[in-house]
Amino acid sequence: MNQTMSAANAIGLVGAPVITLDKVNKWYGAMHVLRDVSMTVGARERVVVCGPSGSGKSTMIRCINRLEVHQEGKIVVDGTELTDDLRALDTIRREVGMVFQSFNLFPHLTILENCTLAPIWVRKMPKAEAEELAMSYLRRVKIPEQALKYPGQLSGGQQQRVAIARALCMKPKIMLFDEPTSALDPEMIKEVLDTMIELAEDGMTMVCVTHEMGFARQVAHRVVFMDRGEIVESGTPESMFENPQTERLKLFLSQILRGH
């Protein structure tokens, strides 16, 4: 893992660490769902997290903006440690955007209102400015013409692109993606992945839970493979996919590839 990072560092792609997980443990009741998870993500680094369902990858990514609370270990995001301190949490959530598997757009608000809500209320931006910003991001995800519709009138792919634009409107330093394409029909997956690739090319720091291995190969600096709550293996996409070290990853890859 460190090798990969230094390799990426050497070519000037990845900056100083912005997310650090240090021996993070989490339990749901008696179930141990995260076991000593340690990981560092540098600025502008793009990490893809994969693994079978129930491996704790979603839980891990949700711990980064404290949608889930870890019980042991230390998580530092953008220089602030995640604790019960609400002010620190607000600071972090302002800098970390998240895209969910089920989009989670606000159905009672228009697309534009979905995008301007947080800038107006959290960043205290004037409405006109927030709308201009929102339109610029909606243009970027190629759906400015839908701005005045409601989420229910859009296709799944369009909704997910709005969700990405909504997160970007907060100008986050880090973007988290929790299986962004898993709820989509095949023909819509591409439009969302294209949006994400474009975002990656702009140098956004990204942590992405996904099974899209093509995406991982194309944009990830590093792939992290999780199973049963622990990080089993990590490395560059090439080394991971072509030269898996562990039996568990080999098994996982064979299952994934058979599915495609």
- Identify which range of 22-30, 113-121, 128-136, 189-197 contacts another protein by CB under 8 A: 113-121
The H or E element spanning position 131 is helix 127-140
Q: Report helix angle 156-168 to 111-121, nearest 10.
A: 20
Report the half-sphere exposure of 7 (CA within 13 A, side-chain side): 8
Q: What are the C-alpha distances in Å from 242 to residues 13, 172, 217, 245?
A: 23, 33, 11, 10
Site track 170-189 with another protein (rule: CB under 8 A), x = hit? x-------------------
Residue 235 touching another protein (CB under 8 A):
no
Q: Which one among 6, 16, 54, 106 touches another protein, defined by CB under 8 A?
A: 106
Q: Which one among 41, 125, 167, 219 touches another protein, defined by CB under 8 A?
A: 167
Q: Which is nearer to another protein, 4 or 160 (CB)?
A: 160
- Identify which range of 96-104, 126-134, 226-234, 239-247 contacts another protein by CB under 8 A: 96-104
CB of 167 to another protein, least distance (A): 8
Q: Which residues of 60-76 are buried (b: 16+ CB within 10 A; e: fewer)?
A: bbbbbbbebebeebebb
The H or E element spanning position 96 is strand 96-99
CB of 9 to another protein, least distance (A): 29
Q: Which of residues 54-73 bind another protein (CB under 8 A)?
A: 65, 67
Q: Which one among 61, 75, 118, 249 touches another protein, defined by CB under 8 A?
A: 118
- Identify which range of 15-23, 143-151, 198-206, 208-216 contacts another protein by CB under 8 A: 143-151
Can you tell me the distance from the alpha carbon of 62 to that of 56, in angstroms, rounded to the nearest whole number? 10
Residue 102 touching another protein (CB under 8 A):
yes
Residue 152 touching another protein (CB under 8 A):
yes
- Identify which range of 104-112, 190-198, 222-230, 250-258 contacts another protein by CB under 8 A: 104-112
SS (H, E, C) 134-199: HHHHHHHCCCHHHCCCCHHHCCHHHHHHHHHHHHHCCCCCEEEEECCCCCCCHHHHHHHHHHHHHH
Contact assessment for residue 199 and residue 164, using Cβ atoms and an 8 Å cutoff? yes
Q: Which two tokens stand for residue 168?
A: 């970007």
Q: Which residues bind another protein (CB under 8 A)?
A: 65, 67, 90, 93-94, 96-98, 100, 102-108, 117-118, 121-122, 149-153, 166-167, 170
